[in-house]
């Protein structure tokens, strides 16, 4: 298992395109939105705290991007190259394959988070009230939820052309309703309620607590994240093992 995790990490860090979309793109989005004064464009009354609000949202967006886009296309590559079939005839089970991918991507998510936190501290002098013990846990939960989305997209799509509509639609909905660039309280009530039930908004809100101690973590947010984690993990294992890893 350890060697497999290291192999997945080596594959990722040798892929410059994947590194761009997973690490450099979220950093660029954060810097562009922060320097452009996006809070004035969308008329938010939170000028002094907007950089902190934005940073937490972009970190959650980076986790989503890693699962919904990069992992989905990676698994499709494995399917097209018959790599999964070769794994399937070894003693490595589908559960072990999923766990190895999840751990390797969790390490990448920690790197994403560290890069963005350094940018926030260095360029915008943001002060963090980091909970060192809880932060890795919430990063693991958030990254795993979106990795499950990626596994499911790759399980349902046979190639890039088929996967693109799935990943684009899911990603667009999650970002728009995820509290990344603006508080979802500004949305109409039905959309705000829907945003509360989707995983990206509770993850963004929970990260803001751990980074800046803005408020106590909402128990409803934590419960929603837990439901998504358990439900998607179960569905992912069933679908992936029966449709792909065989």
In terms of Cα–Cα distance, which of 211, 208, 239, 219 is closest to 57?
208
What pLDDT score was predicted for residue 182?
Answer: 86
Query: For the packed helices 134-156 and 200-212, what is the interaxial angle rounded to 10 degrees?
Result: 160
pTM: 0.91
CA–CA gap between residue 32 and residue 115 (Å, rounded)? 15
CA–CA gap between residue 68 and residue 165 (Å, rounded)? 11
In terms of Cα–Cα distance, which of 59, 27, 69, 75 is closest to 171?
69
CA–CA gap between residue 144 and residue 10 (Å, rounded)? 20
**Are 154 and 244 spatial neighbours (Cβ–Cβ below 8 Å)?**
yes
**Unique residue bearing structure tokens 């979802």:** 184
3-state helix, strand, coil in the chain (%, to 5): 80, 0, 20
Could you state, in order of their start, the residue ranges of all structural domains in the chain?
2-243
Give the HSE-up count for residue 18: Cα atoms under 13 Å, Cβ half-sphere: 21
| Number of CB atoms found within 10 A of residue 84's CB | 20
CA–CA gap between residue 174 and residue 166 (Å, rounded)? 12
Query: Can you say whether the dihedral through the CA atoms of 33, 176, 223, 233 is positive or negative?
Result: negative
E runs forming strands in 22-108: none
Could you list the pLDDT tens digit for every one of the 246 residues in the chain? 788 888 888 888 888 877 888 888 999 999 888 888 777 766 665 545 788 889 999 999 999 999 998 899 999 988 888 888 888 888 889 999 999 999 999 999 999 999 999 998 888 888 777 666 678 999 999 999 999 999 999 999 888 888 889 999 999 999 999 989 888 887 889 999 999 999 999 999 999 888 877 556 678 899 999 999 999 999 999 999 888 887
Element (H, E) at 114: helix 94-124
**Are 55 and 30 spatial neighbours (Cβ–Cβ below 8 Å)?**
yes
In terms of Cα–Cα distance, which of 204, 194, 148 is closest to 173?
194
């Amino acid at each position: 298992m350890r060697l497999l995790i290291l192999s997945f990490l080596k594959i990722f860090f040798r892929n410059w395109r994947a590194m761009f979309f997973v690490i450099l793109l979220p950093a660029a989005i954060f810097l562009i939105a922060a320097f452009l004064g996006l809070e004035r464009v969308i008329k938010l009354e939170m000028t002094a705290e907007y950089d902190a609000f934005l940073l937490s949202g972009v970190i959650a967006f980076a986790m989503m991007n890693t699962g919904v886009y990069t992992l989905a296309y990676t698994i499709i590559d494995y399917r097209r190259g018959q790599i999964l079939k070769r794994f399937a005839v070894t003693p490595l089970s589908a559960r072990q394959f999923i766990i190895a991918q999840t751990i390797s991507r969790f390490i990448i998510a920690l790197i994403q988070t560290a890069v963005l936190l350094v940018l926030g501290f260095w360029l915008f002098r943001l002060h963090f009230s980091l909970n060192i013990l809880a932060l890795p846990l919430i990063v693991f939960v958030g990254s795993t939820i979106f990795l499950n989305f990626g596994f499911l997209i790759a399980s349902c799509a046979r190639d890039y052309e088929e996967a693109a509509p799935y990943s684009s639609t899911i990603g667009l909905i999650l970002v728009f309703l995820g509290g990344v660039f603006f508080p979802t309280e500004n949305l109409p009530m039905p959309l705000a309620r829907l945003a509360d039930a989707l995983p990206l908004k509770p993850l963004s809100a929970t990260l803001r607590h751990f980074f800046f101690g803005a408020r106590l973590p909402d128990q409803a947010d934590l419960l929603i994240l837990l439901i998504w984690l358990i439900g998607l993990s179960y569905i992912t294992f069933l679908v992936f093992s029966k449709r792909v890893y065989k």
